Amino acid sequence: MLNDEQIESIRKTHGRVGVVDYDGHRLVFRRPSRDEIRDYRRKQDSAAEKPDCLDQLAQQTLAAFDDVTDPMQARVAFLAFLDEYPAFTSCGKFLAVSSVLSGMVEAEAAEALGKGASVRGAPPPSTPTA
């Protein structure tokens, strides 16, 4: 399972990240891009694509899974995880983290964030700003 140093390294690479601990697994998600959110919203309006749009957004933004920090390998492990937990992206922990990361909800207002779910802010800039 990912330790705090590995999560900090991912945070330095991706900025703000969300961590979900779920049934012995640790998943780290990065903030979605504007294009990924636009695509998600478009799929929400499509009857054919709506059932899978949240799973797809989770796959796109997954940064690490358990001890796998390579995003492509993590996504392969995540797909196997979804076979075991097909409704994971509907669970409160994931919805809270993804809502905060996408900007739908401020972290302070996300009451569902608690045991097993957290959002870690972007690291401070490495160069001083005036």
Pick from 130, 93, 126, 125: which is nearest to 110 by CA?
A: 93
Give, for all 130 residues of the chain, the pLDDT tens digit: 899 999 999 999 999 999 999 999 999 999 999 999 999 999 999 999 988 999 999 999 999 999 999 999 999 999 999 999 999 999 989 998 999 999 888 776 665 566 667 777 766 666 655 5
pTM: 0.85
64-75 pLDDT per residue, tens: 999 999 999 999
Pick from 9, 27, 17: which is nearest to 85 by CA?
A: 27
Q: Is residue 108 part of a domain?
A: yes
Look at the chain and report how many structural domains it folds into. 1
Handedness of CA 8, 10, 15, 19 (dihedral sign): negative
Q: Is residue 126 part of a domain?
A: no
Task: Say which CATH number the domain at 35 has.
Answer: 3.30.2220
Q: Is residue 29 part of a domain?
A: yes
Backbone angles phi, psi at 110, to 5 degrees: -85, 85
- Domain containing 25 equals 4-120
Pick from 24, 95, 101: which is nearest to 61 by CA?
A: 101
Q: Is residue 128 part of a domain?
A: no
